[in-house]
Every structure is written in structure tokens, then in C-alpha cells.
Amino acid sequence: MAGFFMAAYNKQPKTFADQLALLKQRGLVVADDAVVLQALQHCNYYRLRAYWLPFEVTPPPAQGQHAFVPGTTLETVLVHYEFDRKLRALVLDALERVEVSFRTSWAYNIAHAAGAHGHLEQRLYRDAQRHASDCAALMTTVNDSKETFVRHYLRTYNTPAHPPIWAACEILTFGELSRWYDNLNEPTIRIAIAQQFGLHEVVFTSVIHHLSYVRNVCAHHSRLWNRAMTIKMQLPRSPGVLWGSLEPAMPDRLYNTLAVLAFLVDRISPGCGWKQRLIDHVNANPGINLRAMGFPLAWTARAIWR
């Protein structure tokens, strides 16, 4: 990069004992070396660092140096780590319900509008080149699939090469499904799918794209707590239960994602208890900085949580 000084990376790997010594040097309060070593051996220093960064002195004492706020313990860091791990499991539970329902609605509405292979009809899509690319990618997935229902179709039928949409939807990823929906140009189908989830189709497009990103964050065991979302969603602006429960001032934080999931789960699996499990999890961890996730004050008093 012209005009910029680029330094060579020359840091060497440290043993777990070296990592422990470094944490002590930076001021982490360690009551039991064995507990810290256990955490480092099984959770990776770099992963844990994301959870202790908020407990470091800002700005650092000097360039390249880091120091913990006095009194910071490993237990404080691990409370946040464990809170986040259980939070991801709850979010994945809700996302599974949304994803499966979205698959069903996408396949059902296109099939009833355009037939068993309606997803292959280019006339239904805005961008012909993108649709062709998506069809080619789907065909690759079909040919590589070991699913019994896919192999049965390929052995039994010689045309068309693609399985019907109600089978094809089961081998597409959440992200791929969001791309297919985004490119869908037939307004009656777009609206029918979005209305099933109680959202305007423009908002629904954005929400599904965002949720597919959040699903990937969770599936890769990445941090949700205090994450700034790279892919944000368009928030609904129509008066109602959802709009009155959101926090527009912090659009890139997790709280809005949780509120949208609560709204969707209420429509998909009413009475499943997901909202109460989330509330219980948050209430069981009073030391967690909720504002870092975009939670408003008295959040459980907002309509979607009542």
C-alpha cells in the first residue's frame, strides 16, 4: 500500500504458562493459576481476549501496552464468556424456527404460483444473470448432496435436472435462501411470504439477510455480546408491537435482533416459551452490561416481551 508504513508481523507463539504470566503482568487478578491455565488451554487466548477487552484501561498506558482495570478477575471474564455461550444457543433455537418456516413459505408460495419447479422460472426474478448463477450453484449442491431424497430424485427422474422446490429448499443454506428471496421480482409472491411473518416485504428482505448473518456468527461460536453487527437490518417503522419495542438509537446491536426474533417466534411457535427463557437468562446474569448489547432501560416492559 503506497504511502503507508507496513510493519512485518514478528510475534512468536507463547506457551500457556507464558500467556498466564502476561495476563498477570497486565494486572489480571489470579487466585488460582490452574483455573486460568484450564481456560487458556480450552478456550484460546485470542477468543477470550474479546471478552476481557472491555475490562482493559482505555487508553492503554503506552503504545502496544495493555493493562486491566484494577480488580479485574478471570471469573469476571468467564461470566461474560459463559453468558454469551448460552445466549448463542438461545438465539440459534429461535433462528432454527425462523429458517425452517421461511423455507416452507418460500417453497409453498412459489410452487403454488409457478409449479413444482417455479424457482427455475427466470421470469420471476429481477436479475437474470444472478438467477442463472444461483441455479448453477443449486445444481452443484444437488449433484454433491448425499441426502436420500436428492439421490432418489436423480435416480428416478431425468428431467428437469433439479428436484422440485419443496425438496430443493431443504438443501439451500439460510444465506442462499435469503439471496433467492431478495432476487424474487414477482410482488404477489414476495408479499405473500413476508405477510406470513407480519412484515413489509422490503423490511422482511433486510431482516432475513441480517438473520442469516447472525446465524453464521452463532454457528461459528463467535461473540454476540457487545458485537457491532456488520450487516444491519432495516427496522420496521409501522406503528405496532414490534416498532414500539425496538431501540432505533442502537441499530447495530443485538437487542433489536432479539426483539425481531421474539416477534417472529410469536408468529411461528406461539407458546414455545422462548421469550421467557431469554428473559430468565438475562435476569440470571445481573453483572452483564446490557447496554453494550443495545438493551434499553426497563426493556421487559416493552410490548413484545409482555
What pLDDT, on a 0 to 100 scale, did the predictor assign at position 4?
62
The fraction of the chain above a pLDDT of 70, given in percent, is 96
Q: What separation in angstroms does the CA of 227 have from each of 43, 72, 214, 222?
A: 19, 21, 11, 9
Q: Is the per-residue pLDDT at 60 higher than 70?
A: no
Residues 154, 293, single domain; the answer is yes
Higher pLDDT, 242 or 174: 174
Residues 130, 197, single domain; the answer is yes
Residues 3, 109, single domain; the answer is no
127, amino acid identity? D
Contacts of 77 (CB under 8 A, 6+ apart): 48, 51, 52, 55
pLDDT digits over 237-288, tens only? 876 778 889 999 999 999 999 999 999 999 999 999 999 999 999 999 998 9
Overall number of domains in the chain? 2
Q: For residue 141, count other CB atoms closer than 10 A to its CB.
A: 16
Q: Is the per-residue pLDDT at 8 higher than 90?
A: no
What pLDDT, on a 0 to 100 scale, did the predictor assign at position 201?
95
Q: Is the per-residue pLDDT at 3 higher than 60?
A: no
Residue 73 lies in a domain: no
168-193 average pLDDT score: 95
93-119 average pLDDT score: 97
Q: Domain span at residue 274?
A: 86-305
What pLDDT, on a 0 to 100 scale, did the predictor assign at position 28?
93
Residue 136 lies in a domain: yes
Residue 233 lies in a domain: yes
84-98 average pLDDT score: 97
Rounded CA Rg of the chain:
24
Residues 48, 132, single domain; the answer is no
pLDDT digits over 199-217, tens only? 999 999 999 999 999 999 9
Residues 50, 97, single domain; the answer is no
What pLDDT, on a 0 to 100 scale, did the predictor assign at position 228?
94
54-62 average pLDDT score: 79
Indicate the pLDDT class of residue 104, thresholds 50, 70 and 90: very high
Residues 111, 50, single domain; the answer is no
Cell digits for 208? 432475513
Using DSSP's 3-state secondary structure scheme, residue 184 falls into: strand
